[in-house]
């Protein structure tokens, strides 16, 4: 049977219900002189109009009604909504009035493909941004109005306008009595979710010195800090500098809250202990460790690698083959057949593997840069669950102590860890080889591998042993994010490397800026430039377990390995669709290997 997962978008709901409507309920687009069909008339009468009424109309009728509803809005409201629907792609020059700018936006908006425009309109209608109003109550006039509200295509005219009038900042020079373009572009600040998050943020820079001292005292009590007199002076200075850093993070991320955490008295060097060293976080080094043929093909775009297998012998991978995932792969379909319907063109708005049992409890790597092992192991846990029905917690310690391709607390690469497990023959459960959880410096040696334990477990080959045949590449660049969504949904959580700058102070919300506030704000002087999220410094290994959308802001749901007290119960959300923090630069996934277990 089918399985309902997540919530399909409203536009998908409308489209599906319209397609299922019987032929006698189908409405033809009214033209002058025609008596409008009942369904179309009902939608436009004062007592019967609503977003849901579009479900009884064909696409061409629905778009006529919604286009007209947009045309009836106040100029300032229409300017704001069209700018939002066009995703801030167009700016008017300072010499252009708002009226003229609105005219340009009207033409740009009308040039969009009909289906895309209908999708934007329906979504705006359901969100309450676009209100359907009755056209004219008399049925004899509806046909006349409907025949004239459809806006003609003006693609060539828009391209000409774009070359001369768009893509120049307003700089406050296009204000009119109705509305300024700058105000329209800052509409995001009035979003309900942005305003709600803003109320949860503390601006530490506005506090007095006594209030800062009070916060430090409270921090010491809450996190059981005890310093001698000299160290307390040092730690207080570090604490104050970190508050400035937190303020910058809060400005940079309109939908996320950053605050005082257990790391608030730590230096940058101390915070880095939970991340991979530069040797392992450098994106170029990661790519250099992979076969050149694969890296070069990936750089040419998804069409050059998706679904393909590369023979890379001889290479450090003993098996000599590297494959790339495709939207047709579906390791989850045996357990969840309904997932087979999805592809890169059709995905739910919300999806979360926690709800389906493929994600183990949150772990804590402590002050060791072993994040790579947690990401790789938890990827395998999901694959094992989908193949066997058993969610087994596997051993990170096996990788840290025994995987000689990687380097314990200094760092490592998830694909190399997966290759080690495939070559060795399996990974043991955490309860057989538990994580040490001790503080380790990079200078300390990697823990000794308990080879006897591993050999014994391998010989027993119990059902709790994790087997994989290797790994697949999933993404190596921002253009692969849509594929990431599909592969995650159909094959389980994905291990990936990401830049974790500032994550120590994350409390809740969606990390990101550009898809929320636009590039102008995010790159402006109001944003402190010392908090970059460098997509080429991938210093943290994590697990993507789902995706979602909040008020038109798309995000990834990611499992961290810093304990349940961190973030949103050990998880966080990251802006999706613009390769935020390099989230799509190095994504890989393990492939299950079926074995005959000994009883």
**Residue 312's domain is classified under what CATH number?**
3.90.70.10
Do 444 and 579 share a domain, yes or no?
yes
Do 104 and 124 share a domain, yes or no?
yes
Q: Write the DSSP string, 124-192.
A: HHHTTSS----S-SSHHHHHHHHHHHPPPP-HHHHHHHHHHTSS---TT----SS--HHHHHGGGGG-H
Chain-centre distance for alpha carbon 69: 32
In the chain, how long is the greatest CA-to-CA distance?
A: 90
**Full pLDDT tens readout for the chain, 599 residues:** 222 222 334 444 334 433 433 333 333 333 333 333 343 444 444 334 456 656 666 777 777 777 777 877 877 788 778 877 776 566 665 556 677 777 777 777 777 777 778 888 877 776 777 766 543 333 333 334 334 333 232 233 333 333 333 322 233 333 333 334 445 557 788 889 999 999 999 999 999 999 999 999 999 999 999 999 999 999 999 999 999 999 999 999 999 999 999 999 999 999 998 999 999 999 999 999 888 899 999 999 999 999 999 877 655 555 557 899 999 999 999 999 999 999 999 999 999 999 999 999 999 999 899 999 999 999 999 999 999 999 999 999 999 999 988 988 899 999 999 999 999 999 999 999 999 865 544 455 557 899 999 999 988 877 789 999 999 999 999 999 999 999 999 999 999 999 999 999 999 999 999 889 887 788 764 555 445 789 999 999 999 999 999 988 999 999 999 999 999 999 999 999 999 999 999 999 999 987 654 54
Do 444 and 582 share a domain, yes or no?
yes
Q: Which of 250, 406, 560, 585 is catalytic?
A: 560
Any idea what DSSP says for residue 111? T
* Cβ atoms of 413 and 289 closer than 8 Å: yes
Do 300 and 215 share a domain, yes or no?
no
Q: Angle at Cα 457 formed by Cα 452 and Cα 459, nearest 5°? A: 95
Q: Is 371 a catalytic residue?
A: yes
Do 317 and 413 share a domain, yes or no?
yes
Q: Is 368 a catalytic residue?
A: no
Do 76 and 201 share a domain, yes or no?
no
Q: Which of 62, 170, 174, 371 is catalytic?
A: 371
CA separation, residue 222 to residues 264, 274, 486, 571 (Å): 12, 21, 42, 22
Instruction: Return the structure tokens found at 502.
Output: 């500032």
Closest CA to 364 of 569, 560, 568: 560
Number of domains in the chain: 3
Do 312 and 267 share a domain, yes or no?
no
- For residue 138, is it within any domain? yes
Tell me how crowded residue 408 is: count the other CB atoms within 10 A of its CB.
Answer: 23
Do 292 and 438 share a domain, yes or no?
yes
Tell me how crowded residue 258 is: count the other CB atoms within 10 A of its CB.
Answer: 26
CA dist 288 and 296 (Å) reads: 11
Instruction: Please name the residues in contact with 46: beta carbons below 8 A apart, sequence gap of 6 or more.
Output: 134, 137
- For residue 324, is it within any domain? yes
Q: Which of 266, 315, 540, 589 is catalytic?
A: 540
- For residue 2, is it within any domain? no
Do 389 and 474 share a domain, yes or no?
yes
Do 197 and 336 share a domain, yes or no?
no
Do 221 and 358 share a domain, yes or no?
no
Phi, psi of 366 (to 5 degrees): 60, -150
CA dist 466 and 377 (Å) reads: 9
The secondary structure element, H or E, covering residue 574 is: strand 571-575
Q: Is 560 a catalytic residue?
A: yes
Do 133 and 221 share a domain, yes or no?
no
Q: Is 85 exposed, middle or buried (0-12, 13-18, 19+ CB in 10 A)?
A: buried
Residue 238 structural domain: 187-273
**Residue 260's domain is classified under what CATH number?**
1.10.287.2250
Instruction: Return the structure tokens found at 21.
Output: 């409507």
Which domain-ending residue is among 273, 292, 316? 273
CA dist 82 and 109 (Å) reads: 7
Which domain-ending residue is among 146, 170, 205? 146
- For residue 233, is it within any domain? yes
């Amino acid at each position: 049977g089918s399985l309902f997962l997540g919530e399909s978008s409203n536009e998908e709901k409308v489209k599906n219900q319209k397609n299922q409507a019987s032929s006698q309920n189908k409405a033809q687009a009214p033209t002058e002189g025609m008596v409008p069909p009942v369904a179309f008339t009902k939608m436009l009468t004062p007592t019967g109009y609503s977003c849901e009424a579009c479900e009884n109309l064909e696409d061409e009728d629905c778009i006529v009604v919604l286009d007209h509803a947009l045309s009836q809005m106040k100029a300032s409201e229409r300017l704001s909504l069209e700018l939002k629907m066009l995703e801030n792609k167009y700016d008017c020059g300072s010499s252009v009035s708002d009226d003229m700018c609105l005219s340009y936006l009207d033409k740009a908006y009308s040039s969009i493909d009909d289906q895309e425009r209908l999708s934007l309109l329906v979504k705006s209608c359901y969100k309450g941004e676009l209100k359907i109003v009755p056209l004219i109550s008399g049925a004899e006039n509806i046909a006349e109005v409907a025949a004239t509200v459809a806006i003609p295509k003006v693609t060539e005219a828009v391209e000409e306008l774009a070359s001369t009038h768009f893509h120049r900042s307003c700089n406050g020079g296009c204000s009119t009595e109705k509305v300024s373009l700058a105000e329209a572009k800052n509409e995001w600040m009035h979003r309900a979710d942005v305003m709600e998050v803003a109320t949860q943020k503390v601006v530490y820079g506005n506090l007095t010195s006594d209030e800062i001292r009070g916060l430090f005292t409270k921090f010491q009590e809450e996190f059981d800090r005890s310093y001698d007199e000299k160290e307390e002076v040092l730690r207080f200075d570090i604490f104050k500098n970190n508050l400035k850093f937190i303020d910058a993070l809060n400005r940079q991320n309109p939908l996320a809250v950053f605050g005082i955490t257990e790391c608030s008295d730590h230096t940058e060097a101390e915070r880095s202990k939970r991340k991979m060293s530069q040797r392992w976080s450098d994106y170029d080094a990661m790519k250099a460790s992979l076969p050149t043929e694969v890296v070069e093909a990936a750089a040419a775009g998804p069409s050059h690698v998706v679904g393909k297998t590369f023979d890379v012998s001889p290479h450090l991978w003993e098996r000599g083959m590297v494959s790339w995932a495709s939207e047709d792969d579906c390791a989850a379909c045996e357990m969840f057949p309904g997932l087979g319907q999805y592809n890169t063109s059709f995905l739910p708005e919300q999806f979360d593997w926690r709800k389906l049992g493929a994600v183990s409890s949150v772990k804590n790597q402590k002050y060791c840069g072993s994040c790579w092992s947690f990401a790789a192991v938890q990827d395998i846990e999901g694959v094992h669950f989908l193949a066997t029905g058993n969610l087994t917690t596997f051993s990170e310690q096996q990788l840290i102590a025994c995987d000689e391709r990687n380097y314990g607390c200094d760092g490592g690469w998830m694909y190399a860890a997966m290759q080690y497990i495939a070559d060795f023959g399996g990974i043991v459960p955490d309860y057989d080889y538990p994580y040490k959880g001790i503080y380790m410096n990079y200078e300390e040696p990697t823990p000794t591998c308990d080879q006897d334990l591993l050999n014994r477990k391998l010989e027993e080959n119990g059902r709790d042993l994790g087997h994989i045949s290797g790994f697949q590449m999933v993404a190596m660049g921002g253009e692969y994010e849509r594929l990431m969504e599909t592969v995650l949904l159909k094959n389980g959580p994905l291990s990936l490397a990401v830049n974790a700058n500032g994550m120590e102070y994350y409390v809740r919300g969606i990390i990101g800026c550009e898809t929320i506030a636009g590039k102008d704000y995010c790159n402006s002087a109001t944003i402190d430039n010392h908090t970059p999220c460098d997509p080429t410094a991938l210093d943290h290994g994590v697990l993507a377990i789902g995706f979602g959308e909040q008020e038109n802001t798309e995000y990834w749901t990611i499992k961290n390995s810093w304990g349940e007290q961190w973030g949103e119960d050990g998880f966080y959300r990251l802006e999706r669709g613009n390769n935020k923090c390099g989230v799509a630069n190095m994504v890989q996934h393990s492939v299950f290997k079926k074995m005959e277990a000994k009883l």
